[in-house]
Amino acid sequence: MRRLSGITLIEILLVMASIGILTAIAVPSYQNYYYQAQVAEAIGDIKSLEVAIAQFQADNVGSLPNSLSDVGAGNKLDPWRHPYQYLVIPLNGPSMSLVRKDKSLHPINSDYDLYSIGKDGKSIAPLTAVVSQDDIIRANNGQFVGLASTF
C-alpha cells in the first residue's frame, strides 16, 4: 500500500489563520510606532525652527521674523506634508482670535505661536477642540513642545 504525503487543506487553513493573527497584532503596533516617530520628527523640527527664530532675533535687535520664510523655512513641511504654522502674537486686535489658547482660553505663548496642524490637517485656536488634539505645539514660550493633547 502506498501512502501519499502532502499538505492537507486543514494544514493550509491553520497556517493562513496563524498568519492572519500575527498580521492583526503587528500592523497596529507598527502604525503606532510610525505615528510616534512622526510626532518626534515634528517636535525636533519645531525645536530647530525655534533656534532659527532666536538667531533671527539676535541678528535683528530682538524683532521677530514676520514669517518662517524670513528664517529660510517658508517651505518646510511637517511629517504629514503640511506647512508649519507661525504667528507673531499681537498685543491686541482681530489677530488675537488666531492665537493658540489653553483650556481656560488664555494664550499659550506671549511671543509667537509655532505648531504643526498634525495628522488630520485641521486645527483651531483652542487646544481643547477635537481637531486640535493631534497638533504638535510650542507652548509656554518654548518650555513645552509636544502633542496638544498632553499639554
Alpha helices in the chain (DSSP H): 9-59
State the pLDDT confidence band at 95, using cuts at 50, 70 and 90: low
> Is 108 contained in some domain?
yes
Q: Residue 139: which H helix or E strand, with range?
A: strand 136-139
> Is 46 contained in some domain?
yes
Q: What is the pLDDT of residue 8?
A: 85
b/e burial code for range 20-46 (CB count within 10 A of at least 16 → b)? eeeeeeeeeeeeeeeeeebbeebbebb
State the pLDDT confidence band at 94, using cuts at 50, 70 and 90: low
> Is 91 contained in some domain?
yes
> Is 74 contained in some domain?
yes
> Is 55 contained in some domain?
yes
Q: What is the pLDDT of residue 46?
A: 97
Q: Tell me, yes or no, if the pTM score tops 0.85.
A: no
Domain range for residue 124? 9-150
pLDDT in tens, 37-54: 999 999 999 999 999 999
CATH number at residue 44: 3.30.700
pLDDT in tens, 134-150: 999 999 999 999 999 99
> Is 4 contained in some domain?
no
> Is 1 contained in some domain?
no
Closest to 113 in 3D by CA, of 71, 141, 135, 75 = 141
Residue 91 pLDDT > 80: no
What is the rounded CA–CA span in Å between residue 43 and residue 78?
A: 10
Cβ atoms 118, 39 nearer than 8 A: no
pLDDT in tens, 13-46: 999 999 999 999 999 989 999 999 999 999 999 9
> Is 45 contained in some domain?
yes
State the pLDDT confidence band at 1, using cuts at 50, 70 and 90: low
- As a whole number of Å, the CA-based R_g of the chain is 24
Q: What is the pLDDT of residue 62?
A: 86
Q: How many domains does the chain have?
A: 1
On average, the pLDDT of the chain sits at 91
